[in-house]
Amino acid sequence: MLATSYTLSTTTSQPFETAVERVRVELKAEGFGILSEIDVQATLREKLGVDEEPYLILGACNPPLAHQALTVEPELGTLLPCNVVVYQRDGQTHISAVDAERMLSIVGNDSLASVAAEIRAKLAAVVERASNPS
């Protein structure tokens, strides 16, 4: 897995649809529900008439961790949910999740550090396990 300045990312040999289903399963296993789903490919086709490769954004939420974070920092809702993306580029399938520790560090509230670390660990596990064929 590769950590960029704001994501936890990997590439998988799985087809796009398989990777999406694996991400769904692994998010559920880590206590996340999917609050929103954006099919970027379909949206760009409909709104701009362009045909891009598959790109799906899943807005995931772990209610107990979201509650903890919002209790500490009510404005944090502007950074929720935790986005996980599955997309295809040049025939390769990619899975990326937001790096909660890096993202929540912009808030400047040290009380969020343990929640951010737990979210990061859970999303890293999702990315890692979802990229491996079952």
Task: Give the model confidence (pLDDT) of 38-91 as tens digits.
Answer: 999 999 999 999 999 999 999 999 999 999 999 999 999 999 999 999 999 999
Interatomic CA distance for residues 112 and 89, integer angstroms? 34
The pLDDT of residue 102 is above 80: yes
Q: Sign of torsion, CA 89 3 22 67?
A: negative
* Helix (H) or strand (E) run with residue 86 in it: strand 82-89
Tokens 């999740």, located at residue: 97
Q: Phi and psi (nearest 5°) for 133?
A: -60, 140
Percent of the chain scored above 90 by pLDDT? 94
CA within 13 Å, CB half, 63: 4
C-alpha of 86 from chain center: 9
Contact 118, 65 (CB under 8 A): yes
In the structure, what pLDDT confidence band is assigned to residue 133 with cuts at 50, 70 and 90?
confident
Tell me the sheet residues that pair with 83: 59
Max Cα separation, the chain?
46
Q: What is the pTM of this model?
A: 0.94
Interatomic CA distance for residues 115 and 28, integer angstroms? 18
Provide the residue range defining the domain that includes 32. 2-131
**CA trace torsion 128, 23, 116, 100 (10° rounding):** 90
Q: Give the domain CATH number at 20.
A: 3.30.310.70
In the structure, what pLDDT confidence band is assigned to residue 4 with cuts at 50, 70 and 90?
confident
Into how many domains does the chain fold? 1
